Amino acid sequence: MDLWKLAMEFVGDIYKVTRNFPPEERFGLCNQIRRATISIPSNIAEGAARQNPREMIQFVYISLGSLAEVDTQLEIARNLGFIEDITLLEKKVVRMRCMMARLIRVLKAKGKA
């Protein structure tokens, strides 16, 4: 699934970026952003394993919530000066958000069939 692959790539991107966070943020924002990012592909995988469109939709919505959380945390990190440029990360956020919305539409249509 392309969405899962992109989400996994995004996890790697976030880990690389957060390596440069100040040591005092190791258990703060760094930990929070990493956990939320890991939640994205994890919930997509769990939903796909259920093999039920309704349950898959539920897990994609959870991933979407985690994605929104990461998006906010990236902005916070930028505002605090921990990350200079979040443009590429934001582009991936937008792409994943679109892919999730498309997947939800397809699954909802499939559930009606």
Q: How high is the pLDDT of residue 1?
A: 81
Q: How high is the pLDDT of residue 43?
A: 98
* Secondary element (H or E) of residue 95: helix 87-112
CATH numeric code, 2-112: 1.20.1440.60
Neighbour count for residue 3 (Cβ, 10 Å): 20
Name residues of the chain where pLDDT drops below 70. 112-113
Q: How high is the pLDDT of residue 110?
A: 83
Q: How high is the pLDDT of residue 113?
A: 46
Phi, psi of 84 (to 5 degrees): -80, -50
Q: Find, among 83, 85, 88, 42, the residue nearest to 65 by Cα.
A: 42
Does pTM top 0.85 for this prediction? Answer: yes
